Amino acid sequence: MTYGAFEKTHAAADDRYERLAYRRAGRSGLDLPALSLGLWQKFGTDYPPETQREIILHAFDLGITHFDNADRYGPPHRAAQKVFGRVLARDLAPYRDELVLSTKAGNAISPSPYHRGGSRKSLLNSLEHSLRDLGTDYVDVFYHHRPDPTTPLEETTGALADAVRQGKTLYVGVSNYTPEQAHEAAELLRAQGIQLLVHQPRYSIFDRTPERSGLIDTAAADGFGLVVYSPLAQGLLTDKYLQDIPEGARATNSAFLKPDVIDATYRERAAALNALAKERGQSLAQLAIQWVLRRPEVTSALIGASSTWQLDHNVQALDFPELTDEELKAIDEHGVHGTGLGL
């Protein structure tokens, strides 16, 4: 089934701005929804296009205005951008000024030296491709996807700044940078009159690197927000793996989650967290989302989705009471850094 086969375009829900909280990105003027939809997985050619479209449109109806992409997302690479581009052209074009579209470049997408890294050529060429994939004249946020120690950071930040000056992105960000690298990037951009809007790190109950490394403190000091990915630790912070590994689950076919990490220690800790969530009347996934959003430095949590039900379920995490000091202490006891992640 192709997108052209859909009979009509989408009329967005009238109450779409009544369901989600919006949070300011650092010291900028931009608000992002507390939850953003990431197209990292489930948006390649291996997933039904009608389901992808349904998820994207339902997310917008829920108030999720931020859609996060990258040239690398697929499979194959660039496929996720093309998926969103078709939905944008068919359904969401009238709402383009209400969308925050982000994309990234710098992770390798081919053997070519010009399809990876932080060089000016790599970043700006990738951005041009992304704009064509998405079918838009500009993106709202353009990220360098990961540090490139082989390229001077001055060149990388210079390319990001030029993308803003050329009108091809409104804001810039970085992803997977250390606190020191992020601070240097913020300083270099500031010297060019450009703000580092956001940093995208991995963060969850089981991966507390942003706290332990000092990145959260750096974000507060330099005035950039954090858009955190993998808040559910690739599904480890759900009830999916508490007993067995279900057939077809991510742990059976993902390069990012291997079956051998789902051991007795993981299950003991996850079960304790699941029990705490049940006491609060919520799921473990909802607890995990609430936990990352407890920090004011976190602007938004990136969630994926394989169904509209999953989207609804995750958005409902925002409806529960704030975590108490006693509950946070219990989470610290069982949510041991590195659990299931090999850290």
Helix (H) or strand (E) run with residue 101 in it? strand 100-105
Q: How high is the pLDDT of residue 177?
A: 98
Residue 120 CA to chain centroid, in angstroms? 24
Q: Which CATH architecture has domain 3-234+285-322?
A: Alpha-Beta Barrel (3.20)
Taking the C-alpha atoms of residue 109 and residue 315, their distance in angstroms, rounded to an integer, is 32
Q: How high is the pLDDT of residue 256?
A: 60
Taking the C-alpha atoms of residue 263 and residue 266, their distance in angstroms, rounded to an integer, is 5
What lies within 8 Å, CB to CB, of 78 at 6+ separation is: 71, 109, 129, 130, 133
Q: Is the peptide bond before 210 cis (omega within 30 degrees of 0)?
A: no
> Is the entire prediction scored with pTM above 0.85?
yes
Q: How high is the pLDDT of residue 3?
A: 42
Q: How high is the pLDDT of residue 253?
A: 57
Q: How high is the pLDDT of residue 6?
A: 43
Q: How high is the pLDDT of residue 4?
A: 47
Q: How high is the pLDDT of residue 5?
A: 45
Would you list the domain boundaries of the chain?
3-234+285-322
Place of tokens 């089934």: 1
Q: How high is the pLDDT of residue 247?
A: 65
Q: How high is the pLDDT of residue 255?
A: 59
First to last CA, the chain: 42
Residue-level pLDDT, tens digit, the chain, 343 residues? 344 444 457 999 999 999 999 999 999 999 999 999 999 999 999 999 999 999 999 999 999 999 999 999 999 999 999 999 999 999 999 999 999 999 999 999 999 999 999 999 999 999 999 999 999 999 999 999 999 999 999 999 999 999 999 999 999 999 999 999 999 999 999 999 999 999 999 999 999 999 999 999 999 999 999 999 999 999 999 999 998 776 666 555 555 666 778 899 999 999 999 999 999 999 999 999 999 999 999 999 999 999 999 999 999 999 999 999 999 999 999 999 999 887 6
Q: Answer yes or no: are the C-beta atoms of 283 and 239 closer than 8 Å.
A: yes
Which tokens in the block code for residue 31?
């608000």
What lies within 8 Å, CB to CB, of 191 at 6+ separation is: none
